[in-house]
């Protein structure tokens, strides 16, 4: 049976025992080894982390065997470990990169592999393209895969102390003492990290869904409103200050206010920028957001007058690389990715959660009260995403039409400009906007819509449904 292994931004993901087998994992590991050896620093070694899925620890051992058979030192984490912690280990130990076994928030039958280079941000296309070339070679030359590992080049490590020490440098831990928090790792890899750190600094923490469960309790390890209902209820029942959650590999976050209502990822990114501007008081600086992320970031930056906002394509590889280049205060994406200055340029749900807890503690207000203060500076922003299912041919035709003949107006609002950086973004009069992006894997078009009031937002949503469904 022929196998296609596509090594994109989030690496390769596939169903275990079907495509994701020990043999194919060894092939990918050999491809990574081949690539790393071309970079002239393979002797520094590679850290291997893995999430809470079934067999992930054994897949990690397979990767370690292949790397060490190729003369590359392998450092394997001593338990399932969050992606950001694995990536931080690159910096802490000056390694050549990391291999992370995770399928993030995908169903439990999936697993995945991604490679993170020494830059500590997700691999850019030149890296993933080079690895894909090596994968193709290894698939056609299976005899070149080395599997007889060298035990002297392999070690087991606990990355948590280094990561926690770094968090102590980034956060005001004294403010967190006494804070009442409920944390939900969704049976996944974040357990012992968000709650463990909060316990360490004296916060009161209740953890729910805190045991490792490779089936994730029959749901997806995705911190969406449906999956966080129990968290919301426990926050209300206990009178907690805040509820926190992380996804399958703890690189994405979920945040619940004291009243049990979930705060969106866009709002968390805005609050993080607002809080850091108040806390650090920089003379100037940068913020990074994807093309699909709220323009409230821009409005907040403009209100301070000294922050430059950079817009990137969707994907944290672009956010992270821009953060590394500019030294940005904050980088974020609406799907739940966030990092800050002084940290690795990789999304980190643990840090995002702890920053929101610190802000609530230091400012002495709820998340909604903080959002009200931001809105007083920027005006209101409301953002929604709608997924419109269409036939594949209609999807292609619709995107071509938006690129070549974008509408002159939308729901009575003049289209003042377009941005083709990722999909097609229509910039409307009055500051509203619509982004149209085709799914790369499904027959659907994603529409991201932002306006300053609910009536305008609803009108734009209806207009987009009509435009797309008209073909």
Q: DSSP per residue over 316-329, as a string? A: HHHHHHHHHHHT-S
User: Which residues, in sequence order, are bridge partners of residue 101?
Assistant: 50, 113
Residue ranges of alpha helices (H) inside 113-264 are: 125-140, 160-170, 173-176, 194-200, 229-238
The pLDDT mean for the chain works out to: 95
Distances in whole angstroms, Cα of residue 29 to Cα of each of 74, 103, 304 = 11, 16, 47
1 domain-assigned: no
165 domain-assigned: no
How far apart CA 90 and CA 112 sit, in angstroms, is 20
Q: Structural domain tally of the chain?
A: 4
* 342 burial level (CB within 10 Å; 0-12, 13-18, 19+): exposed
Question: What pLDDT is recorded for position 390?
Answer: 86
- What's 170's DSSP letter? H
Mean pLDDT of 290-304: 97
pTM of the model: 0.96
Nearest Cα residue to 68 out of 138, 146, 157: 146
- In a shared domain, residues 319 and 269: yes
Share of the chain above pLDDT 90, in %: 90
Question: What pLDDT is recorded for position 8?
Answer: 66
- Per the structure block, which two tokens stand in for 216? 């994730």
- In a shared domain, residues 292 and 366: yes
Q: Mind listing the pLDDT tens digit for each residue in 223-248?
A: 999 999 999 999 999 999 999 999 99
- In a shared domain, residues 55 and 131: yes
CA dihedral sign, ordered 28, 343, 43, 152: negative
Predicted confidence (pLDDT) at residue 422 exceeds the cutoff of 90: yes
Predicted confidence (pLDDT) at residue 2 exceeds the cutoff of 80: no
Residues 6+ apart with CB under 8 A from 280: 329, 341
How far apart CA 243 and CA 22 sit, in angstroms, is 38
How far apart CA 270 and CA 374 sit, in angstroms, is 8
Residues 6+ apart with CB under 8 A from 410: 426, 428, 434, 460, 463, 464, 467
CA dihedral sign, ordered 345, 351, 353, 358: negative
- In a shared domain, residues 237 and 337: no
172 domain-assigned: no
- Per the structure block, which two tokens stand in for 166? 């770094």
- Per the structure block, which two tokens stand in for 128? 């993933």
Question: What pLDDT is recorded for position 9?
Answer: 63
Q: Mind listing the pLDDT tens digit for each residue in 145-177?
A: 999 999 999 999 999 999 999 999 999 999 999
- In a shared domain, residues 122 and 192: no
Task: Identify the weakest region by mean pLDDT among 6-20, 64-78, 334-348.
Answer: 6-20
Nearest Cα residue to 60 out of 192, 156, 186: 156
Predicted confidence (pLDDT) at residue 40 exceeds the cutoff of 80: no
Q: Do residues 190 and 250 lie in contact, with contact meaning Cβ atoms separated by under 8 Å?
A: yes
Mean pLDDT of 437-464: 92
**Whose structure tokens read 């990290």?**
193
Predicted confidence (pLDDT) at residue 394 exceeds the cutoff of 90: no
167 domain-assigned: no
131 domain-assigned: yes
Distances in whole angstroms, Cα of residue 373 to Cα of each of 286, 353, 366 = 21, 20, 11
- In a shared domain, residues 18 and 104: yes
Q: Which helix (H) or strand (E) holds 415?
A: strand 413-419
Q: What are phi and psi of 256, to 5 degrees?
A: -120, 135
Rg of the Cα atoms in the chain:
22
- In a shared domain, residues 40 and 28: yes
How far apart CA 90 and CA 52 sit, in angstroms, is 21
- In a shared domain, residues 446 and 359: no
193 domain-assigned: yes
Q: Mind listing the pLDDT tens digit for each residue in 173-196?
A: 999 999 999 999 999 999 999 999
Residues 6+ apart with CB under 8 A from 409: 415
- In a shared domain, residues 40 and 77: yes
- In a shared domain, residues 18 and 156: yes
Nearest Cα residue to 103 out of 56, 60, 71: 56
Q: Do residues 459 and 382 lie in contact, with contact meaning Cβ atoms separated by under 8 Å?
A: no
From 214, 245, 262, the end of a domain falls on 262
Grouping H, G, I as helix, E, B as strand and the rest as coil, residue 467 is: helix
The two beta strands, 253-256 and 413-419, are unpaired
- In a shared domain, residues 387 and 371: no
- Three-class HEC string of 341-367: CCCCCCCCHHHHHHHHHHHHHHHCCCH
Q: How many CB atoms lie within 10 A of CB 244?
A: 31
CATH number of the domain to which 277 belongs: 3.40.120.10
- In a shared domain, residues 322 and 309: yes
How far apart CA 100 and CA 346 sit, in angstroms, is 13
Q: What are phi and psi of 409, to 5 degrees?
A: -150, 160
4 domain-assigned: no
Distances in whole angstroms, Cα of residue 393 to Cα of each of 149, 165, 396, 422 = 48, 52, 5, 20
For 347, the domain range is: 265-378
What interhelical angle do 367-378 and 265-280 show, nearest 10?
Answer: 80
* 265 burial level (CB within 10 Å; 0-12, 13-18, 19+): buried
Question: What pLDDT is recorded for position 358?
Answer: 98
CATH number of the domain to which 433 belongs: 3.30.310.50
How far apart CA 437 and CA 434 sit, in angstroms, is 10
171 domain-assigned: no
From 362, 378, 394, the end of a domain falls on 378
From 345, 378, 411, the end of a domain falls on 378
Quote the distance between the C-alpha of residue 12 and its chain's center. 16
- What's 430's DSSP letter? G
């Amino acid at each position: 049976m022929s196998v296609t292994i596509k090594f994109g931004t989030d690496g390769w993901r596939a169903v275990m025992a079907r495509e994701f087998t020990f043999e194919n994992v060894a092939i990918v590991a050999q491809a990574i080894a081949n690539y790393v050896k071309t970079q002239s620093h393979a002797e520094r070694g590679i850290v291997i982390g893995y999430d809470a899925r079934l067999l992930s620890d054994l897949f990690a051992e397979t990767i370690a065997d292949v790397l060490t058979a190729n003369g590359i030192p392998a450092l394997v984490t001593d338990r399932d470990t969050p992606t950001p912690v694995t990536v931080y280990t690159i910096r802490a130990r000056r390694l050549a990169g990391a291999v992370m076994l995770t399928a993030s928030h995908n169903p439990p039958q999936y697993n995945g592999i991604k490679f993170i280079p020494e830059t500590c941000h997700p691999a850019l296309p030149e890296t993933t393209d080079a690895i894909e070339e090596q994968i193709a070679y290894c698939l056609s030359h299976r005899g070149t895969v080395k599997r007889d590992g060298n035990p002297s080049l392999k070690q087991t490590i606990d990355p948590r102390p280094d990561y926690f020490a770094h968090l102590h440098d980034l956060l005001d831990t004294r403010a967190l003492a006494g804070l009442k928090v409920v944390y939900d790792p969704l049976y996944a890899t974040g357990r012992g990290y968000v709650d463990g750190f909060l316990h360490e600094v004296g916060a009161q923490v209740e953890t729910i869904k805190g045991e490792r469960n490779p089936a994730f309790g029959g749901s997806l390890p995705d911190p969406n409103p449906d999956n966080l209902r129990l968290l919301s209820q426990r926050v209300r029942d206990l009178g907690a200050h805040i509820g926190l959650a992380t996804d399958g590999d703890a690189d994405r976050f979920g945040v619940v206010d004291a009243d049990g209502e979930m705060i969106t990822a866009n709002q968390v990114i805005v609050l993080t920028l607002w809080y850091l501007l108040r806390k650090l008081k920089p003379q100037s600086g940068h913020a990074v957001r994807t093309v699909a992320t709220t323009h409230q970031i821009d409005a907040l930056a403009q209100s301070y007058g000294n922050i430059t906002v950079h817009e990137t394509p969707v994907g944290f590889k672009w956010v992270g690389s821009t953060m590394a280049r500019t030294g940005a205060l904050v980088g974020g994406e609406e799907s739940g990715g966030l990092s800050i200055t002084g940290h690795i340029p990789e999304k980190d749900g643990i840090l995002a959660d702890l920053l929101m807890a610190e802000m609530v503690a230091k400012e002495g207000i709820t998340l909604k009260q903080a959002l009200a203060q931001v809105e007083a500076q920027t005006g209101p922003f409301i953002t929604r995403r709608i997924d419109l299912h269409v036939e594949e041919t209609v999807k292609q035709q619709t995107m071509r039409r938006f690129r070549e003949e974008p509408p002159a107006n939308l729901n009575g609002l003049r289209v003042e400009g377009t941005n083709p950086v990722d999909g097609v973004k229509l910039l409307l009069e009055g500051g509203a906007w619509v982004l149209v992006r085709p799914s790369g894997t499904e027959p659907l078009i994603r529409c991201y819509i932002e306006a300053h009031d609910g009536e305008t937002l609803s009108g734009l949503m209806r207009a987009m449904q009509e435009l797309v469904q008209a073909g």
